Structure 1
């Protein structure tokens, strides 16, 4: 395999392309709802589709195409992907829900006389719904397969 752009590794190139594709979609998805593009979304977590999912699935797909599904590399990528996908829909989503509850709690008590004003505003948009992860997985699979020629080049 000839060298790629990122650290000379074509598999990393495909994974980064999958991540960027998901994030880039998030920039322009507000246009479908009659709003303007949101360039800040290029660097934020959460939303449709999951860039975490697209990245790890593109990685696993690339390894499956190059090394085969019986390879050690593919097995490692599958375990890694499972952990990332679980984290995106479970732990990080729960953390976002906790942040939302904390923000509401802070707003409800900050006007009381006995409490010191709290300046914290916790980030609520952390994790993903199962649907966002599903479409991220689909995107990662499509990109991995679409770049098969590049990977094998």
Structure 2
């Protein structure tokens, strides 16, 4: 008899935890780690536009969706996500460890593999430009050269992501108290 009561109570608690699709969608807007990551990405991409204007005195809207440049939006995004997870779920948990590992892989890749792939693209483009006009590859579309980040760009993105996550944590605490 007790087994039936336990089964019935667990069944009712499952029903209470199932929510409608609209409430699930609205809960995304209360997901502090996700919002921190999105905010860090948007701010980093926007800062690329500003740093380009500062250096070249012209606006280039393509930078809002481009990879490479200062600061690294990849680093900002994954760092904000990892730090926000740490604030929300604790810095000693396995979820934080997973997020930090992901962040390290992304930052290493952007300053290593992707940076060097961009440098190789520069060399290949130069070779193609110097080919005679009759060469079959002379009309080849140039490869994208700005793929990765320099270490200072990665560090700047990481700092930006950490600041965004900390600000988000403070805002989240204020909202929770209200």
Q: Same fold (TM over 0.5)?
A: yes
- After superposition, residues 44-59 of structure 1 pair within 5 angstroms as 44-59=66-81
CA deviation map 1:7-28 (0-9, x unaligned): x522111100000000001112
Report how many residues are paired: 148
Q: SS at the partner of 2:130?
A: helix
Q: Which runs of 5+ in 1 are unaligned?
A: none
Select between 8-17 and 100-109 the one with higher mean Cα deviation.
8-17
Secondary structure of the residue that 1:118 maps to in structure 2?
coil
| Greater gyration radius | 2
Residues of 2 paired with 1:44 and 1:110: CA distance? Answer: 31
Aligned residues of 2:71 and 2:153 also touching (Cα < 8 A): yes
1:103 paired residue among 112, 125, 135: 125
Corresponding residue for residue 35 of structure 1: 57
In the alignment, what sits opposite 2:143? 122
Please identify, of 21-30 and 128-137, the stretch whose mean Cα deviation from structure 2 is larger: 21-30
Shifted more, 56-65 versus 117-126: the winner is 117-126
With over 3 angstroms needed to count, the CA separation of the structure-2 counterparts of 1:31 and 1:118, relative to structure 1, is: closer
Normalized against structure 1, the TM-score is what? Answer: 0.90
- Which residue pairs with 2:38 in the alignment? 16
Question: Is the CA contact 1:85–1:133 (under 8 Å) kept in the aligned structure 2?
Answer: yes
**Residues 39-88 of structure 1: CA deviation (Å, up to 9, x unaligned):** 11000000000000000100111011111111111010011011100100
Q: Which moved more, 1:54-63 or 1:117-126?
A: 117-126
Pairwise CA RMSD: 1.6
- SS of corresponding position for 1:3: helix
Equivalent residue number for residue 63 of structure 1: 85
List runs of 5+ in structure 2 lacking aligned partners.
1-25
More helix by share: 2
Offset at 1:120?
2.2
Using the size of structure 2 for normalisation, the TM-score is 0.78
Tell me the equivalent position of 1:141. 162
2:23 corresponds to which residue? Answer: none
Contact 1:66 1:151 in 2 (8 A): no
Say which of 128, 148, 152 aligns to 1:131: 152
